[in-house]
Amino acid sequence: MIEALGIEKRDSQIEKNYNWNDKKYYEVPNVVGLSVKEANNELKNFEVEYSGTGENIVEQSPKAGERILEGEKVRLLLGE
């Protein structure tokens, strides 16, 4: 289902098969409140950049739910 547009999947629809050179988009998960290790596990499709000090994620950019290309940078702010 394409949730943003309220479009239901049809039974006759064909799923897209990706080729090796196709660009893949992924939705950024919410990692605020997670530990660095947990955040790394959730963000395996992206490059992760940290700033600040501490053990937990207090802010992220882009925000949770945004769709970005595989391998793009997600910036995380560490804190207590």
The confidence score (pLDDT) of residue 3 equals 57
Name residues whose C-beta falls within 8 Å of residue 57's C-beta, 6 or more positions apart in sequence.
31, 32, 33, 34, 35, 36, 39, 76, 77, 78, 79
Q: Which fold has domain 25-79?
A: Trypsin Inhibitor V; Chain A (3.30.10)
- Could you read off the pLDDT of 8-40 as tens digits, one per residue? 667 766 666 767 677 889 999 999 999 999 999
CA angle 14, 44, 26 (to 5 degrees): 35
- Domain ranges in the chain? 25-79
pTM listed for this prediction: 0.72
Q: How far apart are CA 76 and CA 74, in angstroms?
A: 7
Q: How far apart are CA 1 and CA 10, in angstroms?
A: 9
**How many Å from the N-terminal Cα to the C-terminal Cα in the chain?**
38
